[in-house]
Amino acid sequence: MFDPYRKWLGIPPKSQPPNHYRLLGIGLFESDQDVISNAADRQMSHVRTFQSGKYSELSQRILNELSAARICLLDAKKCAAYDAKLRITLKSSKPQPQPLGDAAPTINVAPTIPGISPSTTTFSSAAVSLIYSTKRRKKKLQQLVVSVIIVSLVLGALILLFFVSSRSGMEQPKTKAPVQHKSKSYLEYFRAHDLHGN
């Protein structure tokens, strides 16, 4: 089955459910407001790309979690209380043994959203890899098509520009004035040379 934390945010099952810092992809107890805000924007923008797809419901839940993490970590009082609880949790937590064999992990989809009961779903890694390999191929093909179109348009524009500039740079052929022949008519010629003997 599908694991949105791992596939979308790179959070492995052993780090799930993620704390706010892990969810935003920043270091534990990060205090820089800009770092927190930018990380939340980055993660939310990425997850929004999945809103209209097959996993739209999951993407909305993750977006809610990201929003809750942002609000908490940017508020000094809420952040101090959250950090205190997190320190206690980290001290008391022990590594959980991982399932062996083909057992699919159980993922808690919405562990940190207040007012929403956590739901668990079992995900198959084979199905996830099949879905993602197909999506990757489709995305790469779309990127290739867009690249070919852009390159074609640029080349067309350059060729057009070349022809327009070469035509405007050509000199217009000068029209020659009609040649004035100084030829005389036969009559004038004969008179001038007095060929008739006169």
Query: What's the pLDDT tens digit per position in 170-189?
Result: 555 556 655 555 555 666 76
The domain total for the chain is 2
Residues 72 and 98 in one domain: yes
Residues 64 and 108 in one domain: yes
Query: What's the pLDDT tens digit per position in 29-73?
Result: 999 999 999 999 999 999 999 888 888 899 999 999 999 999 999
> What's the confidence (pLDDT) of residue 90?
87
Q: Is residue 174 part of a domain?
A: no
Q: 76: part of which helix (H) or strand (E)?
A: helix 76-92
Cα–Cα distance for residue pair 165/52, rounded to 1 Å:
47
Q: Is residue 138 part of a domain?
A: yes
Question: In a 3-state reduction of DSSP, which class is residue 55?
Answer: coil
Q: Is residue 197 part of a domain?
A: no
Which two structure tokens, joined as six digits, stand for 35?
Answer: 């770092």
| pLDDT value at 99 more than 90 | no
Q: Is residue 175 part of a domain?
A: no
Residues 69 and 142 in one domain: no
Cα–Cα distance for residue pair 50/7, rounded to 1 Å:
11
Residues 113 and 159 in one domain: no
| Domain around 23 | 4-123
Mean pLDDT, the chain, whole residue set: 76
Residues 93 and 39 in one domain: yes
